Structure 1
Amino acid sequence: MSTESKSKINQLMSITPRGVVLTSAWLTEQGYSPELQKRYRKSNWFTQLERGALVRSGDAVDALGGIYTLQTQLGLSIHPGAKTALSLLGKSHYLDLSMQRCQLFGFQAEQLPSWFKKHDWKLKVEYQSSSFLPAELGLTEYSYKDFQIKLSSPARAVMECLYLAPESQPLLEVFELMEGLNNLRPKSVQTLLEACTSVKVKRLFLYMAEKAGHSWVNYLNLDSIDLGKGKRQIEPDGVYIPKYQITVPKTLEAHT
């Protein structure tokens, strides 16, 4: 390998953390041509993860290393959310990653690239695109290995759980998650609730927060939150909650 090539590979190694994916398109944008990338693979500097994606040879790259690439190289808002975010933040006794499950959320129309979908991350990836919350609102930085990714803050993560409920997320389980969130900042919660477009999510969130007895609820301005009109039957043959005009499971209302 020429001195120039060695200099370029050293520069690349210095600006990219270990444990992440490098997309071929991004490398090309940084001045590393497809021919140079091919030489790096032949020299065993990099290994092809999937078509269009490389990793440092010998590097252990997991799903979070792939998510780093989605966010930093592809500019996507796709992030760990719902129970996965709560698990990573230590807010949940449901350890999704150890259970081989990773819940990802992205903004409407955002898609996972083929290399991410094709690769075997050794866990089940569940991806949900939606627009019920703004793409960048309520995210927090999470440090992992030598890099950082964005994931849902606890309040946003619970809202994402509620977005999935009750079809693919039991409401009683979400309430148990809500019970642990006793130190949320009212201003942040207020901003999320005002921006949220799902009436179901907002009504269930407030109902659960009040039921859990969280003091931060007292500092919310409900008049500024659009809770819609009319009744919402979340659970057939459930218990009707007049304040929020929702019908919830009997097991949830009876839970203490």
Structure 2
Amino acid sequence: MSTNKPSKINKLLGLQPPGVVLTSNWLSEQGYSPELLRKYRNSQWLFSIGTGAMIRANDQIDYLGAIYSLQQQLNLSIHPGAKTALSIQGRIHFLDFSEKEIYLFGNAKESLPVWFVNYDWGVKINYYTSSFLPADVGMILTEKKENFDLKISSPARAIIECLFLAPQSQDLMECFQIMQGLNNLHPQKTQQLLELCTSVKVKRLFLYLAEKSGHAWFKYLNVENIDLGKGNRSLVKNGIYIKKYKLTVPREMEKNEYPDL
């Protein structure tokens, strides 16, 4: 019996890459009973970080390792998005962006597990649920520490998520600055995202900022295929009305008083 235990624990330790959380639901699917897992914890091979979640002895984890487990073990669409996804890709080094504040997105029916919410990851977690974009469109894989791949928002999806948060939870002028830096978006993939996006505000603002930034890829977008809705949209009070997009924006944005990158 003593010979089989190390063998089974060694198998368990090899099932997932280092640096990730092991969820109880996933462990149960792999054939590990609550009693066996309790023995592993008592033997200090595993350590609980909350109800339903464990880590391996001497393993270093952060919030990305936890998100990997949400994606790969619990099959959730929760992912780093907006400025966090852009930061992971090195796209917003010019911004005064603190990596101590993280932006996560999931679909409207997904909640963060209690163990994730209660654990101290050393960062502030901002989690947003919505259905304004399909969960599986505009995602990319990024490698982290050579241990695991993580699904995060592509640059096009990330800026769309930024615009979704604006102006309440994301500064509009910062969105403009981010858009100015996105000079190599893929037109077809961007077109797909805009056609599938259900937020009229986001689509109008995206097109306005992209055109104002003078990106070469903008001319390859087929705006006629993007539903921009009807009626006016106002993002700020006492702003400037943009007739082409039926959108009221900050005066400093339209006057282009923000420094170019």
Residues 66 and 116 in structure 1, CA contact (< 8 A), matched pair in contact too:
yes
Which residue matches 2:21? 21
Which residue matches 2:48? 48
Q: Secondary structure at the match of 1:28?
A: helix
How far off is 1:23 after superposition? 0.8
Which residue matches 1:3? 3
Residues 84 and 95 in structure 1, CA contact (< 8 A), matched pair in contact too:
no
Whichever residue aligns with residue 35 of structure 1, its letter is E
Residues 230 and 245 in structure 1, CA contact (< 8 A), matched pair in contact too:
yes
Q: Secondary structure at the match of 2:135?
A: coil
How far off is 1:255 after superposition? 2.2
Whichever residue aligns with residue 123 of structure 2, its letter is L
Q: Secondary structure at the match of 1:20?
A: coil
Partners of 1:20 and 1:239 lie apart in 2 by 48
Whichever residue aligns with residue 63 of structure 1, its letter is Y
Q: Does 1:66 align with 2:63?
A: no
Partners of 1:2 and 1:75 lie apart in 2 by 34
**Using a 3 Å threshold, how does the CA distance of structure 1 residues 16 and 95 change in structure 2: closer, same or farther?**
farther
Task: Report matched runs for 1:142-181 at 5 Å.
Answer: 142-145=142-145, 146-181=147-182
How far off is 1:105 after superposition? 0.3
Residues 87 and 95 in structure 1, CA contact (< 8 A), matched pair in contact too:
no
How far off is 1:91 after superposition? 0.6
What does the per-residue CA deviation read over 1:158-212, in whole Å, with 9 as the maximum and x for residues that have no partner?
Answer: 0101000001111100010011110011000000000000000000000000010
Q: Does 1:193 align with 2:190?
A: no
Which residue matches 2:185? 184
Partners of 1:172 and 1:32 lie apart in 2 by 51
Q: Does 1:119 align with 2:144?
A: no
Which residue matches 2:32? 32
Partners of 1:44 and 1:95 lie apart in 2 by 41
Partners of 1:35 and 1:15 lie apart in 2 by 19
Residues 84 and 99 in structure 2, CA contact (< 8 A), matched pair in contact too:
no
Partners of 1:109 and 1:95 lie apart in 2 by 32
Report the TM-score when normalising by structure 1.
0.97
Whichever residue aligns with residue 161 of structure 2, its letter is E
Partners of 2:2 and 2:239 lie apart in 1 by 72
How far off is 1:95 after superposition? 6.2
How far off is 1:99 after superposition? 3.9
Which residue matches 1:89? 89
Q: Secondary structure at the match of 2:117?
A: helix
What is the RMSD computed on CA atoms of the aligned residues?
A: 1.1
Partners of 1:188 and 1:2 lie apart in 2 by 55
Residues 238 and 249 in structure 1, CA contact (< 8 A), matched pair in contact too:
yes
Which residue matches 1:206? 207
Percent of aligned positions that are identical = 56
Once the two structures are overlaid, the 10-residue window that deviates more, 116-125 or 41-50, is 41-50
Which residue matches 1:132? 132
Partners of 1:99 and 1:137 lie apart in 2 by 25
Provide structure 2 residue ranges, at least 5 long, that are not aligned to the other structure. Answer: none
Partners of 2:46 and 2:238 lie apart in 1 by 58
Which residue matches 2:230? 229
Q: Secondary structure at the match of 1:47?
A: strand
How far off is 1:5 after superposition? 1.8
Partners of 1:56 and 1:216 lie apart in 2 by 46
Whichever residue aligns with residue 193 of structure 1, its letter is L
Whichever residue aligns with residue 168 of structure 1, its letter is S
Partners of 1:109 and 1:54 lie apart in 2 by 24
Residues 22 and 54 in structure 1, CA contact (< 8 A), matched pair in contact too:
yes
Partners of 1:149 and 1:57 lie apart in 2 by 22
Aligned residues: 255
